Amino acid sequence: MEIPFIDLKSQYELISEKIKGSIDVVLGHGNFINGPEVTEFETNLKSYTSVKHAITCANGTDALAIALLALKIQPHDAVFVPSFTYIASAESIALVGGVPYFVDVGEDYNICSKSLEIAIDDAKKNNHNPRIVIPVDLFGKPSICGELDELIDNFNLETIYDAAQSFGSSHNQIKIGNFGDITTTSFFPAKPLGCYGDGGAIFTNNDELAKVIRSIKNHGMGNHKYEHINIGMNSRLDTIQAAVLNEKIKLLHDEIIQRNEIARYYNDGLSDSNLILPKLSNTNSYAWAQYTVRHVDRDKIIEFLQSKNIPSAIYYPIPLNEQDAYKSCNVVSSGLGNTEKFCKEVFSLPMSPYLKKEHQDYIISTLNSKW
pLDDT, tens digit, 9 for 90 and up, residues 126-167: 999 999 999 999 999 999 999 999 999 999 999 999 999 999
CB atoms within 10 A of CB 197: 15
Residues facing 228 on adjacent strands: 221
Average pLDDT, the chain: 97
Which residue in 51, 31, 33, 29 sits closest to 235, CA to CA?
Answer: 33
Spatial separation of the C-alpha atoms in residues 187 and 185, rounded to whole Å? 7
C-alpha distances (whole Å) from 3 to each of 45, 221, 267, 305 are 31, 47, 19, 11
C-alpha distances (whole Å) from 85 to each of 91, 165, 340 are 11, 11, 12
The whole-number pLDDT of residue 282 equals 82
Per-residue burial over 120-134, b if 16 or more Cβ lie within 10 Å, else e, is bebbeeeebebbbbb
pLDDT in tens, 177-194: 999 999 999 999 999 999
C-alpha distances (whole Å) from 241 to each of 32, 38, 177, 289 are 10, 8, 21, 20
Residue 1 pLDDT exceeds 80: no
Residue 236 pLDDT exceeds 80: yes
Q: What is the pTM of this model?
A: 0.96
Which residue in 286, 339, 291 sits closest to 311, CA to CA?
Answer: 291
Residues facing 100 on adjacent strands: 79
